[in-house]
Chain A
Amino acid sequence: MKVISAIATHSFREILGTRILYSIIAYAALVMLFAILASQWTIGEEVRFITDMGLGAMLFLGLVLVITRGAVTLSREIEKKTVLVMLARPIHRWQFVVGNFLGMGLVLLLLVFSLLLVLVLILLPMGGAVSWPLLGAAWGVFLELLMISAVALLASNLSSPVLATLITLLVFLAGHMASNLHVWISQAGDLKDLHLPESMLQVAQAYQSGPAHWFLQAAYYLLPNMAHVNFKMNAADAISIPGARLVAGTVYAFVYSIIATWISIAIFGRRDMR
């Protein structure tokens, strides 16, 4: 445990010293700029607009951090063998992976918390308030980033920096469409509710059974379903998040991240570093 916390702290400090500060400054500048513009663009909905912009920017900056740190730096370390310096010490490979994941998780938590603070400081003078839906939405952003950082870690174990970045981005995008995929393949889902064009409807109906159905079903469980942790709509419309949904989303995100890290450990453990 001591080893893991030492690696996590090392990873946390390493990231903290570099990008996080710039991210916060960039975020604050972006949101403030939009705060000024918002009063001219919208009528009576400035607080909502800033909240949506803030949460969107929070996710975007987090994603940039996950990709630059998780997908690029780690895979580069593995590719250039600099990781061997760390592994030369008396630590297990699984401890290295878990430590890195925890360090990243800590950084993401700090990033989301800091950005939430900036957002609240901008919202308060405009008549906004610190509400449970807003806090829940920020927690959802953290969970989303946690899942994607686990995917980035896995991708960095599997491939080169460029490919790892591409995989992470694709999983992020596909994860946001996973709920649509679920409706497509679900027998109970009424496809007509999706307002799909006739041609797409026919394609969707073809995937209702047979091997194609099972393939899509597997793809669905492979992807992180971001809809489970997406509470931005609740924050925008000031609708309370049901406790069960929040808990289910949190558990789902943690279990998904653990599974992805588990696979990372297995791959990293068997990897030939020479």
Chain B
Amino acid sequence: MSRITSAAIWLAGLALLVFGLIMIDGRATNLHPSADPMEKCVELNSATLSMLSVGNRPLVADYLWIDAVQYLGKTLAQHHHEIIDGKVVCVGFPAEKLDRAAEIFYELANRTVEVDPHFTYVHYMGALFLNDPHTDPDRAVNLLHTGILNNPKDWQLRFWFAYLNLMLKRDRETALEHMKLAAEMEGCPQFVLDIRDRLFTAPDRQLATMFLAGMLQKARSEMERKRIRQQMDELDSGVDLRQLLHDHHAHDHDHHHGHD
């Protein structure tokens, strides 16, 4: 047998073994009881993860964020809303599963910022994706609030926090408080000052457009830009999705009770 033939046999054998290993790995992963990312993220707490990182806490945070981003890509980032005949139609990901998906993403993002509290992009980006009419708005607000506590000098977190307080909580006073603080911070752009000055005079929808336009201007990734544009489109449609969904739920609830 020539050297080339034996090398080819050796390589083929190796390739077969690698292929087999990949197949077994796939099966084993499916059979693993902690295949659910929610379970995976609670296996180790942040203190243990930090201790096991051998001085590479930022890398552990990166890994957790990548995990969160991959989950985000599969769920929240894929979906958007369309309004057909006055009804909100959820496209890309089933609406009934959205709240659970948001909960998992929220946990993953929280775990990331527990390991690295100054990873501001996780607070910011996480809140952007958690701001969805089908999901609990408090998660987005909480994630930003933690971000502000960890990074009080970050204007972008306060700016976004002000937006959510204004649009979700209808709390203009808190929004103004954080806009004032954001405007005093280093690196704060002019549009923050403009919005702050018009917070009590401009209508809500116009303010929201200004906020989103500002965020779009500072967006760092294509996924972020896409998400902001989606929210702008929803705003342009002139329908308050949260209110509409709330009305539908209330209607369904009454309907069921009527049958009872």
A positions within 8 Å CB-CB of B: 41-45, 48-49, 51-53, 55-56, 59, 144, 172-173, 176-177, 180, 194-196, 226-227, 230, 232-233, 235-237, 239
**Are the C-beta atoms of B51 and A177 separated by less than 8 Å?**
yes
The dominant DSSP class at the A interface is helix
**Are the C-beta atoms of B118 and A43 separated by less than 8 Å?**
no
Partner of B66, one of A41, A59, A180, A196: A41
Nearest A residue (CB) for B57: A233
Chain B 52-65 near chain A by CB (<8 Å), digits 1 or 0 = 01111111011001
Residues of chain A contacted by B70 (CB below 8 angstroms): 41
**Which residue, A45, A180, A227, has most C-beta atoms of chain B within 10 A?**
A45
Q: Is B45 interfacial (CB-CB < 8 Å)?
A: yes
**Are the C-beta atoms of A43 and B62 separated by less than 8 Å?**
no
Residues of chain A contacted by B58 (CB below 8 angstroms): 48, 51-52, 55, 232-233, 235-237
**Are the C-beta atoms of B125 and A43 separated by less than 8 Å?**
yes
Residues of chain B contacted by A233 (CB below 8 angstroms): 57-58, 116, 118
**Are the C-beta atoms of A52 and B62 separated by less than 8 Å?**
yes
**Are the C-beta atoms of A43 and B69 separated by less than 8 Å?**
yes
Which of the 9-residue segments B27-35, B175-183, B219-227 touches chain A?
A: B219-227
**Are the C-beta atoms of B45 and A43 separated by less than 8 Å?**
no
Residues of chain B contacted by A176 (CB below 8 angstroms): 51, 53-55
Residues of chain A contacted by B61 (CB below 8 angstroms): 236
Q: Is B71 interfacial (CB-CB < 8 Å)?
A: no
Chain B 220-250 near chain A by CB (<8 Å), digits 1 or 0 = 1111100000000000000000000000000
Given A52-B58, A56-B59, A236-B58, A43 contacting B51 (CB threshold 8 A): no
Nearest A residue (CB) for B220: A44
Tally of chain B residues near chain A (CB < 8 A): 29
**Are the C-beta atoms of A194 and B47 separated by less than 8 Å?**
yes
**Are the C-beta atoms of B224 and A232 separated by less than 8 Å?**
no
Partner of A195, one of B47, B59, B221, B224: B47
**Which residue, A172, A232, A233, has most C-beta atoms of chain B within 10 A?**
A233
Given A41-B69, A43-B69, A237-B118, A173 contacting B62 (CB threshold 8 A): no
Partner of B55, one of A44, A196, A226: A226
- Identify 14 new A-B residue pairs, CB closer than 8 A, beyond the known A41-B69, A43-B221, A195-B45: A42-B66, A44-B224, A49-B62, A56-B56, A59-B56, A173-B54, A176-B51, A195-B47, A226-B55, A236-B58, A236-B116, A237-B118, A237-B119, A239-B118
Q: Is B200 interfacial (CB-CB < 8 Å)?
A: no
Residues of chain A contacted by B59 (CB below 8 angstroms): 52-53, 56, 232
Q: Is B135 interfacial (CB-CB < 8 Å)?
A: no
Residues of chain A contacted by B219 (CB below 8 angstroms): 44
Nearest B residue (CB) for A180: B51
Give the CA-CA distance A226 to B118 in the complex, in Å: 20
Q: Is B19 interfacial (CB-CB < 8 Å)?
A: no
Question: Shortest distance in angstroms between B65's beta carbon and chain A's nearest beta carbon?
Answer: 7
Residues of chain A contacted by B121 (CB below 8 angstroms): 44-45, 48
Give the CA-CA distance A226 to B55 in the complex, in Å: 8
Residues of chain A contacted by B156 (CB below 8 angstroms): none
> Shortest 5 CB-CB distances between A and B: which pairs?
A236-B58, A44-B221, A44-B220, A237-B118, A43-B221
Residues of chain B contacted by A196 (CB below 8 angstroms): 47
**Are the C-beta atoms of B118 and A232 separated by less than 8 Å?**
no
